Chain A
């Protein structure tokens, strides 16, 4: 697969603060890539460097085969961006702003624009200063989705949107993927990434800590298991078991994926009345990456 974004060893400091400290990121063309990290991890800084708004201090950055700093205006024809903190022109209406941004990009599609305004239930006649945060974000999002950009950079686009709009957004993203567009979606809302992304990169304090498909990442982690057995057994000695809680015949625990097989053999020997297990949610992945070293 051809790459849309390839970043390695990216460094950016603001004064004494090292916002990015050797960050790596690879996004293939046509995938929806989740870019996860807690607030202040460096997500927005990375996106701004990908757009050539900020200049990288070290490392290599390639976007759609170009250098985002050198070829900024050229690349921007093929990229659409939704900032995390959308600032609009207070005395222009939402409709005017969408049109302006579309025309600057060159190929505005009136039909797509109208459909998106409808779907996101935006009132385009309101002055931008009267919009809420969520509505400001919708303006930027509609302008981005209505464009025919190859690459969408979305910085926490659903922050401030209600759940209904969030699900509309997910539908749109699925359509973008089918249309073959590449999306880099930064977020700290895990359910969002889990629902729409093919692959995920997790960063922390300006460094990449994990990257891969969701199943790749789950592979590294534990499965939560809850079971009611026929006869009580002692599982404390079993390797790979964590957070064991046993009350009579009821047990709940977490088990490393490598030892799942051993656990099931023990269960089978004891007899199982009921069993539930679920793969780790991204919340749990996150806790593992950011919780342990605190």
Chain B
């Protein structure tokens, strides 16, 4: 037990910036959006109108969830936070858990610890304690933030618990997955896939039938707490029970297997390399193709789904008269276009997440063996950057094609394919700017490369909360996403994408130049 506490202290020491920064971001996100929403709906009738409007739209219900009490300002205020916000909490839980289990083991740090008089169970127990502590703190601070934003006390506490429950459930899932895979990357990937699947499960349950399906999804559990709309405390029994069972399973697996081993065994590979594996670019493709194909499949699927539901949006909207709600979210002309433009700009942000992490491989693969071979630094840097830049383009093209084909089939207009492909590709320059920023930091200050995530988050928050907080336009204009034309629907402006692409190009050149001048390692 003493050893476990020592390991907890070690983990907290390593995460002394990461954990507080992450938790604070969540609290600000929840409290900020609550504080911004409350004044928008001062009367009960305005709330009922908006809530019924949202509940009547399958696409929004699928994306965010249902509003269980149309009269409750709290339920309206936290609708995004309960769905997408909870998914972000789950990502946080996965990353923290894998970081302290499989990532440590893969790096050999656990071996160092395992050789000391520490019980076999101690590293996992420490990671679980850290996750538990982080989620409890998240619950307390989130609840306080929501109360401070003017929402009812009981609902705020229940919402804090709902988020913490989702976090704990995914801590448990990630703890089990970490025992199965051999690499940290695979553990994060597999856990994220579980997250994707259970998110879709609850989306189907909420937007279609059967409703009980949501009880198979930890994200669904979070929503079934129904904060500000019934406050079902008892759901806590399910979530805590699940998390405890998952932790116990992970523990049972951990004490039965060898250090460093996974339960999913490695296969043998080829004894000689394929003839094509002969350049840094070929190596970068080999290292990145698996994740890129998974991303590509998800984007195509998401595009098809968005295209398919987009034509139903308009009907519900006109009927419910909550028009200003979605027009405020993005577009300016027809509602279907507004919906599509909103979804495309959102996926543009997700594509930039892909671009940033693909470009960050530059740092992870900064390998002495490769760079001591006759490979120029610029050639090395451009290998992974090519994957990042073209990968983003592939993702958005698939998104546009998927949405266009599905939407075109719905309304009988094949021309939609090209229209939406164009609208999707317009999102690219902003994502490329993020790739450029990543390159600059990689070249000039590689030690703070992870800070690029904070920059990306800041851009997103500027877009999400900037208008609600009434920030100066020039502050919001700092975000590259603010300059993307809102297609389809709005007029196409040529200048912003061209300028963004120019900025991205210059950033890449600057970053590569800086990389050529610095020490490796």
Contact = CB atoms under 8 A, between A and B. Distances in A.
A88 B365 CA distance: 9
Contacts of A90: 183
B277 interface: yes
A100 B374 contact: no
Nearest to B287: A89
B367 A87 contact: yes
Nearest to B269: A93
A83 interface: yes
A55 B519 contact: yes
Nearest to A153: B372
Interface string B267-286: 11111111001111001001
A79 B375 CA distance: 12
Interface in B472-493: none
A99 B369 contact: no
B369 A140 contact: yes
A74 B374 contact: yes
A55 B516 CA distance: 11
A73 B374 contact: yes
Contacts of A129: 106, 182-183, 266
B372 A100 contact: no
A63 B479 CA distance: 47
A101 B279 CA distance: 9
B384 to A, nearest CB: 13
Interface string B374-411: 11110100000000000000000000000000000000
A292 B182 CA distance: 48
B324 interface: no
Contacts of B379: 73
A99 B279 CA distance: 11
A77 interface: yes
Interface in A104-128: 104-106, 124-127
Given A87-B368, A105-B373, A129-B183, A92 B286 contact: yes
B368 A125 contact: no
Contacts of B375: 73, 76, 104
A53 B372 contact: yes
A53 B368 contact: yes
Given A53-B520, A89-B287, A101-B369, A95 B270 contact: yes
Contacts of B266: 126-127, 129-130
A100 B277 CA distance: 6
Contact of A104 (B269, B279, B365, B520): B279
B261 to A, nearest CB: 10
B369 A83 contact: yes
B194 to A, nearest CB: 21
Interface in B486-520: 517-520
A124 B377 CA distance: 28
Contacts of A28: none
Given A73-B374, A73-B375, A125 B369 contact: no
Most buried by A among B183, B270, B271, B277: B271
Most buried by B among A79, A81, A100: A100
Interface in A56-112: 72-74, 76-77, 79, 81, 83, 86-93, 95-101, 103-106
A54 B283 CA distance: 23
B371 interface: yes
Contacts of A170: none
B412 interface: no
Contacts of A143: 369
- Dominant secondary structure of chain B at its interface with chain A: loop
A126 B270 CA distance: 8
Contact of A96 (B273, B365, B517): B273
B42 interface: no
A32 interface: no
B517 to A, nearest CB: 8
Contacts of B369: 81, 83, 86-88, 97, 101, 140, 143
A36 interface: no
A100 B278 contact: yes
Given A48-B520, A89-B287, A77 B374 contact: yes
A10 interface: no
A73 B287 CA distance: 23
Contacts of B277: 96, 99-100, 103
A19 B287 CA distance: 34
Nearest to B265: A130
B268 A125 contact: yes
Nearest to B278: A103
Given A79-B372, A86-B369, A91 B272 contact: no
A105 B369 CA distance: 12
B376 A124 contact: no
Contacts of B267: 127
B521 interface: yes
Contacts of A73: 374-377, 379
A125 B268 CA distance: 6
A56 to B, nearest CB: 10
B374 A81 contact: no
Given A54-B520, A140-B369, A93 B271 contact: yes
Given A89-B283, A89-B287, A103-B278, A96 B372 contact: no
B171 to A, nearest CB: 25
A132 to B, nearest CB: 11
A189 to B, nearest CB: 21
B271 A101 contact: no
A192 to B, nearest CB: 22
Nearest to B519: A54
Most buried by A among B182, B372, B519: B372
Contacts of B278: 100, 103-104
A193 interface: no
A76 B372 contact: yes
Nearest to A89: B287
Contacts of B279: 104
A51 interface: yes
B374 A51 contact: no
A93 B373 contact: no
A72 B373 CA distance: 9
B371 A96 contact: no
A127 B269 contact: yes
Contacts of A95: 269-273
Given A83-B368, A87-B368, A88-B369, A100 B269 contact: no
Given A83-B369, A91-B287, A99 B272 contact: yes
6 contacts: A53-B372, A73-B376, A105-B374, A125-B271, A126-B268, A126-B269
Interchain residue pairs A-B with the least CB separation, the first 6: A99-B273, A93-B269, A76-B374, A96-B273, A81-B372, A103-B278
Given A54-B519, A104-B278, A124-B271, 20 more contacts: A48-B521, A53-B368, A73-B377, A76-B372, A81-B372, A83-B369, A83-B372, A90-B183, A92-B273, A93-B269, A95-B271, A96-B272, A96-B274, A99-B273, A103-B273, A103-B277, A106-B374, A125-B268, A125-B271, A129-B183
Interface of A: 48, 51, 53-55, 72-74, 76-77, 79, 81, 83, 86-93, 95-101, 103-106, 124-127, 129-130, 140, 143
